[in-house]
Amino acid sequence: MSWSGRITGVGILLVGLSVGYIYLFGEDNKPVASSFDDTLTYSVTRLDFEAFVTETGDVASASNREVRCEVEARGAPGTTIIKIVEEGTMVETGDFIVMFDSSALENDETAQRIVVANNRANLIQAESQLANAERTLVEFEKGLFQQEVTLIESEVFVAQESVERSLAKLLHSQRLSAKGFTSIEQLHGDQFQHEKAKRDLTAASLKLNVYREFTKDRLTGEYNASIKQKTAHLAAAQSTLELSTNRLADIQEQIIKCKVLAPSNGQVVYANDERKGVVIEEGAIIRDNQVVVRLPDIKNMEVAVRINESHVNRIQPGQIARIELDADPDHPLDGKVRQVAAYPFPLRWHGAPLEYDTKVTVINPPSTLRPGLRAKVKIYFESQTDVLQVPLASIMEHEESHYCLVRTDTGWDTR
């Protein structure tokens, strides 16, 4: 008889039998038994069945208190760490954690203090100028105007007196000239003096009217315009001083933020990120708002794992998990799936598999558990009790049927 051989695999089982791993087909395309006696066999058993997904992840706290760099870079790549507590240190609220370089800010503070002093001097000068402008207006309205009016009225009064005196003299000269006691030249001179006196009176009266009706309004307008100008200068000086003072306060606040204190109790964990090349250490340059230290709650721990897209539909919140720490594989921990991300991580390169962030809560975490430890997590998504089980390699699919080779006392049978 001629034989042709083929090895395949997909799984089924039978009870109480030994199943072979070699599948042979005869000329009628039906499976037949082989005469090999050294074939690897497996005793079919009935056991509890558990299906799980295994992924690795990092231990972290589910309630991290992040400490960020709040010092503004101000045109620089970042701020330099000059002192930081050792990683793993237990701190309490208010304890020192990290010190950033504040030398540039201190130089800015000195320069800004000078700016504030100059702006304050400008404000004082603007206030003085405004007060003088307001006093000038009051002085004009309540004193200088009336004083000038009185002086011009005096000029009008003197001019009127001159007109009357020159008129009396002219009349006297005319009477003398009619009797031949004075010369024609004297009479003409008295006439000229009288005309001049009348013109002086007219000029003085016109001057008084102009000052009352026009000059007063012009000067009042100029004084009011000066007051408005000085008021605008004062407002500008106030705004400039306010801005420079706020700038100084901001610099001083930044200097204070260079010394970072613990916002809560916890254990110091550096926010290192190998994938981004971030290493927290003295001398490292930290960007504004970058996480420097985390203070995890070691009583509320979890493992962050990445689930491949081929398994993500099997994972649901609430499923149990088994956690094996690389640092202590002999003492596995119990866990439960807390969260499965709705969207995958961004692709790290073209063609990379999609991965979904999954959080597995550690149930009753031991005191020795620390953030950053690597762990292998088994997430169980299906289980059955007391079911028949054989290796997948012992199952052969042929013409929509599945077969195993079973060793009997007389040889091999196909089932």
Question: What Cα–Cα distance (Å) separates residue 392 from each residue in 43, 47, 395?
Answer: 13, 15, 6
> For the chain, which ranges sit under pLDDT 70?
1-39
Please give the span between the terminal C-alpha atoms of the chain, in angstroms, as a whole number.
21
d(CA 110, CA 94): 28
Contact indicator for 238, 116 with CB cutoff of 8 Å: no
What is the torsional sign of CA 276, 339, 61, 289? positive
Q: Give the burial class of 218: count Cβ atoms within 10 A of its Cβ; 0-12 exposed, 13-18 middle, 19 or more buried.
A: exposed
* Residues in the chain, overall count: 415
Name the residue among 352, 364, 322, 356 with its Cα closest to residue 339: 356
Sole residue written with tokens 């091999």:
412
- Per-residue pLDDT at 37: 54
Token pair listed for 267: 């254990």
| pLDDT tens-place string over residues 6-59 | 322 333 333 334 444 444 444 455 555 444 556 678 888 888 888 899 999 999
d(CA 130, CA 355): 71
Token pair listed for 202: 């007219």
- Per-residue pLDDT at 226: 94
d(CA 57, CA 326): 10
Residue type, 312: V
- Per-residue pLDDT at 28: 52
Sole residue written with tokens 């089980």:
389
For 73-217, where are the E strands, in sequence order?
79-84, 90-91, 96-100
Token pair listed for 215: 């000059």
Residue 395: count other Cβ atoms within 10 Å of its Cβ: 19
d(CA 23, CA 30): 10
- Per-residue pLDDT at 252: 95
Task: Please provide residue 234's backbone torsions phi and psi, each rounded to the nearest 5 degrees.
Answer: -65, -45
- Per-residue pLDDT at 124: 96
For 69-162, where are the E strands, in sequence order?
79-84, 90-91, 96-100
d(CA 74, CA 71): 9
- Per-residue pLDDT at 231: 95
Contact indicator for 62, 338 with CB cutoff of 8 Å: yes
Tell me which DSSP letter residue 306 carries.
Answer: E
Which residues are registered as beta bridge partners of 286? 79
| pLDDT tens-place string over residues 328-338 | 999 999 999 99
Sole residue written with tokens 């000085």:
230
Contact indicator for 31, 414 with CB cutoff of 8 Å: yes
